[in-house]
């Protein structure tokens, strides 16, 4: 079970994600409301990305456990979240979380995200017995992989493209080693992971299968070294700092090929989404193209959730940026990483060469 955890404050709302099957909880963001009225768009990209089964809101209480004045505002916030996203709501006691977060060294601004993580850790302990649904069988995975490949092939032919131009990356976050192993029997060779800590056991146990591993989550500075050493691809470079850290770390991996990287572009300029905005893209492309231990391969994008033409227009803008950067980017520029389970055919029609598929292969996230 996946939960988004919210620590509510008057000006800031901290957000974390917790999964009761993997036992992982991760800080995601601190949403700065800046004194304005909060709206659905402040949290839409986070809810869309993680698709949680439940939303957990930290409830401010007095130290004796009685209701505090802030509790009513937190409950109102919970009602808004439920109205906006139609997800089940749960409350968690957050009396000590903010104080503990600040004692860990978090600033007042970032303490809400740290507090959300601490609330998530408590939630995990309470839900450790959640029963994980039965994993898909090899036969089920084979049928789903064949379906994705057939639809991908049809989309390529409709766009007058060769089906071999598109790489299927099965996104295996929250999936077990056995589920990934079964997917390899179904013919999948490329897998995407969002978290280094979760991915490392899979990489170790499946090391002899000749798989290609793609990091598709946000690169945290303190994880860059491990990511560069463990993965073949990183799809989410969004700053000079991240590119430099990956390059330095890869330089220490003697005998390894350069790390293949894509720049994540925030094509719809969403304030809460990672990625470089189009106006700053050329500067980052020029910088990354000059690094020695990474090969700059292309762009990755996660368009704003939408319907039909809205998503297609976002894909088209990414494809246009890709062509604009071709001369600047260097000799390895050949990859457009865009399209997921709900929209990969549209992405292929707009030029995608790498599609990242999770639910359509593994089923709903446990």
pLDDT mean across residues, the chain: 87
pLDDT digits (tens, 9 = 90+) for 99-148: 454 444 444 555 677 788 888 887 887 776 555 667 899 999 999 999 99
Number of domains present in the structure of the chain? 2
In a domain, 133, yes or no: no
Whether 122 and 143 share a structural domain? no
Residue 48, phi-psi category: left (phi > 0), alpha (psi -120 to 50), beta (remainder): alpha
Q: Mark whether 117 and 149 lie in a shared domain.
A: no
Q: Do 156 and 40 lie in a common domain?
A: no
Q: Do 60 and 13 form a contact (C-beta atoms < 8 A)?
A: no
Q: What pLDDT shows up at residue 252?
A: 86
Residues 103 and 144 in one domain: no
* pLDDT number for residue 105: 42
Tell me: do 20 and 75 sit in the same domain.
Answer: yes
Q: Would you give the DSSP letter of residue 265?
A: B
Which residue among 126, 152, 181 closes a domain?
Answer: 126
221 within some domain? yes
Are residues 204 and 294 part of one domain?
yes
| Choice among 12-21, 297-306, 341-350 with the minimum mean pLDDT | 12-21
* Residue 95 located in a structural domain: yes
Examine residue 132 and state whether it is found in any structural domain, yes or no: no
**One-character DSSP codes across 296-361:** EEEEE--PPS--THHHHHHHHHHHHHHHHTHHHH-TT--EEE---TTTHHHHHHTT-SEEEESHHH
3 state DSSP class of 194? coil
β-pairing, 12-19 vs 24-32, is antiparallel
Cβ atoms of 119 and 35 within 8 Å: the answer is: no
- Looking at the fold, whether 76 and 176 belong to one and the same domain comes out as no
Q: What is the CATH number of the domain that holds 12?
A: 3.30.420.140
Regarding whether 197 and 115 lie in a shared domain, the answer is no
Minimum mean pLDDT range among 43-57, 128-142, 144-158? 128-142
Total Cβ atoms within 10 A of residue 35:
7
Q: How confident is the model at residue 62 (pLDDT cuts 50, 70, 90)?
A: low
Residues 37 and 177 grouped into a single domain: no
Domain region containing 79: 2-126
**205, 177 in Cβ contact below 8 A?**
yes
Question: Looking at residue 355, what is its pLDDT?
Answer: 98
Statement to judge: residues 104 and 222 lie in one domain: no
Q: Is 131 inside any structural domain?
A: no
Q: Look at residue 210 and tell me if it is in a domain.
A: yes
Q: Are 234 and 259 in contact (CB under 8 A)?
A: yes
Distance, CA of 257 to CA of 361 (rounded, Å): 29
Same structural domain, 181 and 309: yes
Is pLDDT above 70 for 199? yes
Q: Are 8 and 54 in contact, with CB atoms under 8 Å apart?
A: no
Tokens of 176: 């077990």
3-state SS assignment for residue 100:
helix
Distance CA 322, CA 220 (A): 25
């Amino acid at each position: 079970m996946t939960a988004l955890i919210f620590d509510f404050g008057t000006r800031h709302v901290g957000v974390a994600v917790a999964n009761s099957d993997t036992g992982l909880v991760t800080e995601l963001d601190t949403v700065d409301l800046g004194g304005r009225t909060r709206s659905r768009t402040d949290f839409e990209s986070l809810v869309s990305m993680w698709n949680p089964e439940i939303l957990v809101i930290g409830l401010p209480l007095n130290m004796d456990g009685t209701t505090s004045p802030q509790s009513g505002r937190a409950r109102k916030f919970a009602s808004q979240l439920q109205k906006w996203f139609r997800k089940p709501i749960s409350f968690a006691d957050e009396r000590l979380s903010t104080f503990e977060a600040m004692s860990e060294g978090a600033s007042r601004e970032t303490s809400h995200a740290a507090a959300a993580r601490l609330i998530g850790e408590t939630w995990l302990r309470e839900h450790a017995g959640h029963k994980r649904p039965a994993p898909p069988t090899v036969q089920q995975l084979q049928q789903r992989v064949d379906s994705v490949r057939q639809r991908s092939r049809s989309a390529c032919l409709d766009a007058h493209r060769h089906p071999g131009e598109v790489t299927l990356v099965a996104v295996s976050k929250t999936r077990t080693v056995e589920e990934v192993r079964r997917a390899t029997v179904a013919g999948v060779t490329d897998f995407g992971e969002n978290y280094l800590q979760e991915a490392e056991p899979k990489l170790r146990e499946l090391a002899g299968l000749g798989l290609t591993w793609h990091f598709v989550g946000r690169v945290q500075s303190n994880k860059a070294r491990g990511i560069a050493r463990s993965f073949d691809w990183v799809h989410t470079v969004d700053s000079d700092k991240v590119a430099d850290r990956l390059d330095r770390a890869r330089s220490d991996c003697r005998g390894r090929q350069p790390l293949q990287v894509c720049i994540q572009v925030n094509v719809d300029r969403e304030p809460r989404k990672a990625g470089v905005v189009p106006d700053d893209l050329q500067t980052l492309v020029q910088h990354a193209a000059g690094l020695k231990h990474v090969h700059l391969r292309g762009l990755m994008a996660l368009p704003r959730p939408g319907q039909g033409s809205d998503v297609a227009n976002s894909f088209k803008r990414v494809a246009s940026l890709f062509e604009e950067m071709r001369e600047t980017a260097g000799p390895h520029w050949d990859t457009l990483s865009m399209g997921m389970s709900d929209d990969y055919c549209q992405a292929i029609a707009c030029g995608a060469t790498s599609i990242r598929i999770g639910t359509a292969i593994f089923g709903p996230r446990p």
